[in-house]
């Protein structure tokens, strides 16, 4: 977040965040690896004179509210289970309010999910408004964190299989929103943009963090030996799982959402470098998807 705060300051000072030499990266001089949707998300706080570091605390609270907003669709019990799991562990609660940008990413994805769930359950003008809000939220999440892509992809696939004509508009708005954030910065300096956002993906050559390679293999020298081939294993594993899930059409929005989430989780677990706060994105998103899926199944059985 300190690097993001520096990037926001650079942008409002008239500079290009993707050509700036950063002082706050570790080590200093590192790339700014986040897409511009993140910079612009925190810019609202900057414009209002607020504390950028407080934004994620607010997003964590709003994410709980979004899960609670599903209550009429899923029932009081499932909503209570979802919120209870999040509130149970002190470590989870600490990281949900410690100002990591993964909390804001979770908020955007949950906003898209909740808006879409209510859109499909509603009719008329409200359904249409929620439909477009969902598309914008998912599109913004794509321009915020790259790992939101599998979730948006499988949600879009579910909508396409459900009603291809309606899905075209949703997919178009989602992609258009992502492009609206990304293209101006890409055009501003394509080489710098690719070097920063793409370069961050290969920045960490060592095995570190909360992943299989560190937690299960790092007790032996094997982890360092495997480090160069881990990205290949990651690509093959996620691609293979993606194909398997793609060929199993989701019966509901909640299931489709969880299919995309499974790819995100596998990518975190198999990545060479995985900071523990990545899982702070996973926890509220997972609980939102799980309770929605169970709620949809219960509603279908009742019908």
Ordered per-residue pLDDT tens for the chain, 303 residues: 888 999 999 999 999 999 999 988 777 888 888 999 999 999 998 898 888 888 888 888 899 899 999 999 999 999 999 988 877 766 677 766 666 778 899 999 999 999 999 999 999 999 999 999 999 999 999 999 999 999 999 999 999 999 999 999 999 999 999 999 999 999 999 999 999 998 766 777 788 888 999 888 876 778 778 888 999 999 999 999 999 999 999 999 999 999 999 999 999 999 998 988 888 889 899 999 999 999 998 887 776
- Map residue 35 onto helix, strand or coil: coil
Task: Give Rg (Cα) of the chain.
Answer: 19
Q: pTM for the whole thing?
A: 0.94
Give the position of tokens 């060929």: 247
Residues in the chain: 303
Beta strands in the chain (DSSP E): 208-209, 273-274
């Amino acid at each position: 977040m300190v690097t993001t705060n520096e990037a926001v300051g650079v942008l409002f000072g008239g500079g290009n965040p993707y050509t700036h030499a950063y002082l706050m990266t570790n080590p200093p001089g590192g790339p700014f690896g986040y897409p511009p949707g993140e910079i612009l998300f925190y810019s609202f706080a900057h414009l209002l004179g607020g504390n950028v570091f407080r934004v994620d605390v607010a997003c964590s609270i709003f994410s709980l509210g979004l899960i609670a907003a599903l209550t009429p669709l899923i029932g009081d019990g499932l909503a209570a289970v979802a919120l209870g799991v999040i509130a149970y562990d002190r470590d989870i609660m600490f990281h949900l309010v410690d100002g990591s940008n993964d909390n804001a990413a979770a908020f955007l994805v949950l906003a898209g999910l909740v808006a879409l769930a209510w859109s499909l359950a509603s009719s008329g003008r409200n359904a249409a408004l929620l439909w477009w809000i969902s598309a914008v939220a998912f599109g913004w999440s794509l321009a915020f964190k790259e790992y939101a892509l599998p979730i948006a992809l499988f949600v879009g696939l579910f909508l396409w299989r459900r009603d291809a004509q309606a899905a075209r508009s949703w997919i178009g708005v989602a992609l258009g929103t992502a492009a609206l954030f990304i293209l101006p910065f890409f055009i501003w300096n394509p080489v710098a943009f690719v070097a920063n956002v793409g370069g961050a993906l290969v920045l960490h050559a060592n095995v570190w963090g909360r992943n299989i390679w560190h937690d299960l293999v790092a007790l032996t020298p094997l982890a360092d030996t495997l480090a160069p081939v881990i990205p290949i294993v990651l690509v093959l594993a996620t691609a293979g799982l993606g194909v398997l899930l793609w060929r199993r059409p989701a019966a509901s929005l909640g299931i489709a959402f969880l299919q995309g989430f499974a790819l995100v989780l596998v990518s975190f677990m198999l990545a060479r470098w995985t900071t523990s706060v990545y899982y702070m994105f996973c926890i509220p998103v997972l609980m939102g998807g799980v309770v929605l899926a169970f709620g949809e199944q219960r509603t279908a059985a009742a019908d």
